[in-house]
């Protein structure tokens, strides 16, 4: 029976709220952004990509990526690394005690990650990838794996790698339907995702090119996947989860920005919050009248007080 948008997915001993996930996005999916995505209907969110070595050495900046909001329950922590023992130790660390599910990054295409033998470089070393998954599973966590269909166009192996993940103990896999050399551009390969789905019994989530409800429906129809993962679309419009679930497209952008600022400020302080929210506001006003002229004003905004005044200007409120 084909999955429907809104279906729940079992990951080990837990169930997600629905099958529309928010991808791990470096520099974006902090606790405040995840809180927004959950409020708009995301079934599961992931932390930013976290270095297993950084956790092992108790790096403060790394541990900060794992901050949670009050009441946050089922978020998955995404780890990257290439040493099975270090990754297992990270899974068992105090920093991850509140996380029931760990996601292993085997798809990041960024050169500095790839050159370290991490991310999508693990697709070059099946035995090592298998060892990493099996070691992390020994931690007692639910383990998921996110990977790409291959490294180059014409040389794909999604089904083979999916079987490896399942055999090593993975509870769920997310298949990004692009090769490493495609980065984030181009049509996802539906056939490769479908081949991965047919190769395993564990749940398969499809990732790549999902910006609308129609995109999500097409992905499920073409691949038979159990769910979909939204990435860049969530950065531009965290309300996209409501839309994919069949809700309306209207959302209060000004209120959303203020909610995010309110959550971030007590934790991160004004400097970081300002830098982050100037960037996020540029995303959120895309497509609005005058968004180009406001972009320059936003990036020049010197304080949160001035940002608030600018929000009133942008959204037609009294200053």
Report the catalytic residues: 108
- Helix/strand/coil (H/E/C) assignment for every residue in the chain: CCCCCCCCCEECCEECCCCEEECCCCCCCCHHHHHHHHHCCCCEEECCCEEHHHHHCCCHHHHHCCCCCCCCCCCEEEEECCCHHHHHHHHCCHHHCCCCEEEEEECCCCHHHHCCCCHHHHHHCHHHHHHHHHHHHCCCCEEEEEEECEEECCEECHHHHHHHHHHHCCCEEEEECCCHHHCCCCCCCHHHHHHHHHHCCCCEEEECCCCCHHHHHHHHHHHCCCEEEECHHHHHCCCHHHHHCCCCCCCCHHHHHHHHHHHHHHHHHHHHHHHHHHHHHHHHCCCCCCHHHHHHHHHHCCCHHHHHHHHHHHCCCCC
Query: 59 vs 52, 230, 271, 276, CA distance in Å?
Result: 10, 29, 21, 21
Radius of gyration of the chain (CA): 19
Name residues whose C-beta falls within 8 Å of residue 139's C-beta, 6 or more positions apart in sequence: 88, 91, 92, 102
């Amino acid at each position: 029976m084909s999955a429907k948008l809104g279906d729940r997915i079992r990951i080990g001993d837990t169930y997600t709220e629905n099958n529309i996930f928010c991808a791990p996005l470096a520099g974006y999916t902090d606790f405040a952004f995840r809180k927004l995505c959950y409020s708009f209907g995301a079934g599961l969110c992931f932390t930013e990509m976290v270095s297993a070595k950084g956790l092992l050495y108790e790096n403060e900046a790394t541990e900060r990526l794992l901050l949670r909001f009050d009441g946050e329950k089922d978020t998955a922590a995404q780890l990257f690394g290439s040493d099975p023992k270090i990754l297992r130790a990270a899974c068992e660390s105090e920093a991850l005690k509140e996380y029931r599910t760990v996601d292993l990054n085997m798809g990041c295409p960024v050169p500095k990650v790839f050159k370290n033998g991490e991310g999508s470089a693990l697709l070059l070393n099946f035995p090592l990838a298998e060892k990493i998954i099996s070691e992390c599973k020994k931690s007692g966590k639910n383990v998921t794996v996110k990977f790409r269909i291959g490294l180059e166009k014409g040389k794909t192996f999604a089904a083979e790698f999916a079987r490896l993940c399942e055999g090593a103990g993975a509870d769920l896999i997310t298949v990004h339907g692009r090769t490493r050399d495609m980065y984030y551009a181009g049509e996802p390969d539906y056939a490769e995702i479908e081949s991965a789905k047919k190769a395993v019994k564990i749940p398969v989530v499809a990732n790549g090119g999902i910006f609308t409800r129609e995109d999500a429906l097409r992905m499920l129809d073409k691949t038979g996947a159990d769910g979909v993962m939204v990435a860049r679309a969530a950065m531009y419009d965290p309300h996209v989860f409501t839309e994919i679930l069949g809700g309306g497209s209207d959302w209060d952008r000004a209120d959303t920005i203020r909610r995010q600022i309110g959550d971030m400020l007590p934790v991160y302080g004004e400097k970081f919050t300002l830098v982050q929210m100037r960037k996020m506001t540029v995303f959120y006003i895309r497509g609005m009248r005058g968004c180009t002229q406001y972009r320059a004003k936003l990036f020049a905004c010197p304080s949160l007080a001035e940002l608030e005044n600018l929000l009133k200007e942008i959204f037609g409120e009294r200053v």
